[in-house]
Amino acid sequence: MSSTASHPAPADFDFIIGDWTVHHERLDGIFAGADTWTAFEGLSSTSKILGGHGNLEDNLLKHPSGDFHAVALRSYSVADDEWSIWWLDGRNPTQLDTPVRGAFRDGIGTFVASDVLNDVPIRVRFIWDATGTHPTWEQAFSNDDGSTWETNWRMKFTAVQNAATS
């Protein structure tokens, strides 16, 4: 077993450390042929944990049906050279979502997992794009083992400027 203490912390998620406003768009139906989206705003704050081999993203989502909190927990495995990402929704605080796993290449992170949605096996994919000044994230599901993907949630992050430095 490799210890993270003897390995330098990866910089893959350094782009998201700090405070952000977030523009969310969620598809109005999954695997239903939907083509309309619900847009809403949110706030996010991410800090490093595990000596830089992980991070914790605290979120406030201002959804039209009501505000809620959620957390993304990310950890890096030195042995696998991969990140794992878990999601904990404050509306269901006893259930961590199945972690997606993956890595970054040229500023794009791709993370996948097998899961079940409404008793149907699916694949889940997160894509992080850290190549611009406004990082983006999207989630897609596949019900045909990854042959096709339906994007169902998109986020665009804008850094919160500190009043003392702006």
The string of pLDDT tens digits covering residues 104-151 is 999 999 999 999 999 999 999 999 999 999 999 999 999 999 999 999
CA 54 – CA 106 distance, rounded (Å) = 20
**pLDDT at residue 29, rounded to an integer:** 95
CA 11 – CA 91 distance, rounded (Å) = 31
H-run or E-run covering 40: strand 37-49
Q: Which CATH superfamily is domain 15-159 in?
A: Calycin beta-barrel core domain (2.40.128.20)
CA 125 – CA 86 distance, rounded (Å) = 12
CA 10 – CA 109 distance, rounded (Å) = 13
Q: Which two tokens stand for residue 17?
A: 């450390």
Q: pTM for the full model?
A: 0.92
